[in-house]
């Protein structure tokens, strides 16, 4: 992986390819490159590092063409280097590839025996040579078909042929979209890459391939039968991918959250009658006996928080599962089980694979995504969009709180239908949801206080985050945010587990962040905090006004948030842990929006 961009036009395309690759930078990358067809020859330029290095190389080359492909690479097979950067070429072919070819070792041995030379350590290079081999006795269409049937794993591919003026794409398990404008056609990994050039997009479906010519394109399905696919109008505006007056996209996205949550909730919330309704979900909730939530990373922690809601408010047995492990469990087949798959991109490879596994068990499939045209949304029985808008920063912020807000709405809808949440309780909980945006704005107003507190963290070698109940997953999310963007080792634990091991780490150099709003578990959290203080630990307590009034130790550092219903505490308490991580990374001068080794959309398993 990580980003593909291609264009066929009646004008030179180098500047367009570079612009498209810039739009893909948010996905993370370690090298980049482009290929052009010029006078029936393929010209390829590649560079390690940031796009500026590729642009410098291009400035020294007087080349351009009307047909080209580009790629930003995030290493999977082979170290970051110019040789391993895409595109990869064979005698007559140039390709860029996202995904992993699982049988590349076998294919490589076969191709070596046939005289092909490999110049990289990547799995992707076998695709170029295999297409070239199949071209010797076949048409371009047949060569592609033969090649695709040999590839095992996930891929999105864009292809050039040196003696042809057409652009080819194919996908299986990794996203690829076609962009259409008056005088150009495009291929891109997502709508963000295509947004500067067109709003007209066709999202290729699983197994599709496409041949794009000057004035038309032909799409083929997995059986290589010619098909038509739906044309969508992208709602993504190119201006959304601008930082505006903020220093980083992550900062911008943190500050967008009051508006995002307000807009997201407004679809389901009746502020006059204090009721939630989700009419698009035609599910018989009374038949529901189990809820499983499946996700990766930050979305997994949102899933864990939701299990507390579903069990405590609904009484329905609920479990959160890592998508990468879920397929290895033999779940009971049941139409009375709801499986909720959560993915910001809607293309997360592990989550998509887990969804396909779950469909075999006849479970009801509901997905939460940020892209209604994504693979996960299309393959679900039902889907809800979180309406967070494009999230450019690699570390998820607004998508996390938007996911939680939708899951909380889902809890209320199910509870009312089951009769376990009465009208009075629903009104009270709905009011707490209505107040989320204003409470978030209040937290953003004390950002300077949070920034000051982050100075006690950013020089540490390790940090512990502790919480109980629904704040336990939030502790793990806080630790994840810190390690993602500041590169500080951090771990999140249930407060009650501290004495079962982590307390051995406590000394005067270890910052320990307690996430402890005033609720039924507050006193137990304070007991754990006292244990840390007794051993010389450095405590940062994140609590609320009710909680701070119960604290008599003035030596600890505190951050006081507004008092809210405990139903929405995980949403409200998300903001300070995001800001702590953000300011720590700023003080450390790391790459906040594109932290090392991380990709925004993880489309390989």
Name the β-bridge partners of 557.
540
Q: Tell me the average pLDDT of the chain.
A: 91
Which range, of 25-29, 144-148, 160-164, 438-442, averages the lowest pLDDT?
A: 25-29
Pick the catalytic residue from 252, 398, 518, 600: 600
Output 395 or 600, whichever has higher pLDDT.
395
Pick the catalytic residue from 2, 409, 411, 471: 2
| Nearest residue to 376 (alpha-carbon basis) of 76, 173, 120 | 173
Work out the pLDDT band at 602, boundaries 50, 70, 90.
Answer: low
Q: What is the pLDDT of residues 372-386, one digit of tens each?
A: 888 899 899 999 999
Domain 446-592 grouped into CATH 3.40.50.10490? yes
For the chain, give the percent of residues with pLDDT over 70. Answer: 97
Query: Which CATH fold would you assign to the domain 2-240?
Result: 3.60.20
- The predicted pLDDT at position 498 comes to 84
| Nearest residue to 585 (alpha-carbon basis) of 512, 487, 450 | 487
CB-based contacts of 546, cutoff 8 Å, min separation 6: 518, 563
Q: What is the pLDDT of residues 163-213, one digit of tens each?
A: 899 999 999 988 899 999 988 999 999 888 898 899 899 999 999 999 999
Work out the pLDDT band at 512, boundaries 50, 70, 90.
Answer: very high
DSSP 505: G
Please list the helix, strand and coil fractions of the chain in percent, rounded to the nearest 5, in that order. 40, 25, 40
- At residue 564, does pLDDT exceed 70? yes
| Nearest residue to 32 (alpha-carbon basis) of 2, 63, 68, 65 | 2
For the chain, give every domain's residue range: 2-240, 446-592
Q: Which two tokens stand for residue 288?
A: 């529901």
Which range, of 138-152, 441-455, 530-544, averages the lowest pLDDT?
A: 530-544
Output 348 or 79, whichever has higher pLDDT.
348
2 given a catalytic annotation:
yes
Cis peptide leading into residue 87 (ω within 30°): yes
296 given a catalytic annotation:
no
HEC secondary structure over 67-104: EEEEEEECCCCCCCCCCCCCCEECCCEEEEEEEEECCH
Q: What is the pLDDT of residues 23-34, one digit of tens each?
A: 888 887 888 999
CA distance 144 to 435: 55
Per DSSP, the three-state class of 303 is helix
**Cβ–Cβ under 8 Å, residues 583 and 14:** no
Q: What is the pLDDT of residues 223-263, one digit of tens each?
A: 999 999 999 887 766 556 678 899 999 999 999 999 999 99
**DSSP H or E segment with residue 201:** strand 200-203
């Amino acid at each position: 992986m990580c980003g593909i961009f291609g264009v066929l036009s009646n004008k030179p395309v180098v500047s367009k390819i570079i612009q498209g690759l810039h739009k893909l930078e948010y996905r993370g990358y370690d090298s980049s490159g482009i290929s052009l067809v010029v006078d029936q020859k393929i010209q390829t330029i590649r560079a390690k590092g940031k796009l500026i290095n590729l642009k410098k190389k291009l400035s020294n080359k007087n080349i351009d063409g009307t047909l080209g492909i580009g790629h930003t690479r995030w290493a999977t097979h082979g170290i970051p280097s110019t040789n391993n950067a895409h595109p990869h070429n064979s005698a007559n072919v140039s390709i860029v590839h996202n995904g992993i070819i699982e049988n590349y070792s076998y294919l490589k041995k076969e191709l070596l025996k046939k005289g092909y030379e490999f110049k990289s350590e990547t799995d992707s290079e076998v695709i170029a040579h295999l297409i070239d081999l199949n071209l010797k006795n076949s048409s371009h269409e047949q060569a592609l078909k033969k090649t695709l049937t040999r590839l095992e794993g996930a891929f999105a591919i864009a292809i050039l042929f040196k003696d042809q003026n057409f652009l080819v794409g194919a996908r299986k398990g990794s996203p690829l979209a076609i962009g259409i404008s008056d005088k150009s056609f495009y291929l891109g990994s997502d709508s963000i890459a295509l947004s500067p050039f067109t709003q007209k997009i066709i999202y290729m479906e699983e197994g599709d391939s496409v041949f794009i010519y000057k004035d038309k394109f032909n799409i083929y399905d997995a059986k290589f039968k010619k098909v038509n696919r739906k044309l969508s109008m992208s709602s993504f505006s190119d201006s959304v991918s601008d930082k505006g007056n903020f220093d980083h996209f992550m900062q911008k996205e943190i500050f967008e959250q009051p508006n995002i949550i307000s807009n997201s909730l407004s679809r389901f919330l009746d502020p006059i009658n204090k009721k939630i309704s989700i009419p698009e979900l035609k599910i018989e909730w009374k038949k529901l006996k189990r809820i499983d939530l499946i996700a990766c990373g930050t979305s997994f922690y949102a899933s864990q928080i939701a299990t507390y809601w579903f069990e405590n408010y609904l009484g329905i047995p609920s479990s959160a599962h890592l998508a990468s492990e879920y397929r290895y469990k033999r779940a009971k087949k049941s139409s009375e089980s709801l499986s909720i798959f959560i993915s910001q991109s809607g293309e997360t490879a592990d989550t998509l694979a887990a969804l396909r596994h779950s469909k075999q068990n006849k479970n009801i499939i509901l997905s939460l995504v940020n892209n209604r045209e994504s693979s996960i949304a299309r393959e679900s029985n039902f889907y809800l969009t979180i309406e967070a808008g494009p999230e450019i920063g690699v570390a998820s912020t607004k998508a996390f709180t938007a996911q939680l807000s939708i899951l909380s709405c889902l809890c209320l809808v199910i509870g009312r239908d089951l009769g376990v949440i009465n009208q009075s309780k629903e009104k009270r909980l709905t009011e707490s949801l209505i107040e989320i945006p204003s409470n978030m704005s209040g937290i953003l107003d004390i950002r300077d206080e949070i920034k000051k507190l982050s100075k006690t963290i950013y020089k540490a070698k390790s940090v512990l985050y502790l919480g109980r109940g629904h704040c336990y997953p939030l502790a793990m999310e806080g630790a994840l945010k810190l390690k993602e963007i500041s590169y500080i080792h951090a771990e999140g634990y249930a407060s009650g587990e501290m004495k079962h091991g982590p307390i051995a780490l406590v000394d005067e150099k270890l910052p320990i962040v307690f996430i402890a709003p005033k609720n039924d578990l507050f006193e137990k959290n304070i007991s754990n905090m006292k244990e840390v203080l007794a051993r010389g630990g450095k405590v940062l307590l994140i609590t609320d006004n009710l909680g701070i009034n119960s604290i008599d130790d003035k030596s600890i550092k505190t951050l006081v948030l507004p008092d809210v219903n405990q139903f929405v505490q995980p949403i409200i308490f998300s903001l300070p842990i995001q800001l702590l991580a953000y300011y720590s990374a700023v003080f450390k001068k790391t790459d906040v929006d594109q932290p090392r080794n991380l990709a925004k959309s993880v489309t390989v398993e």
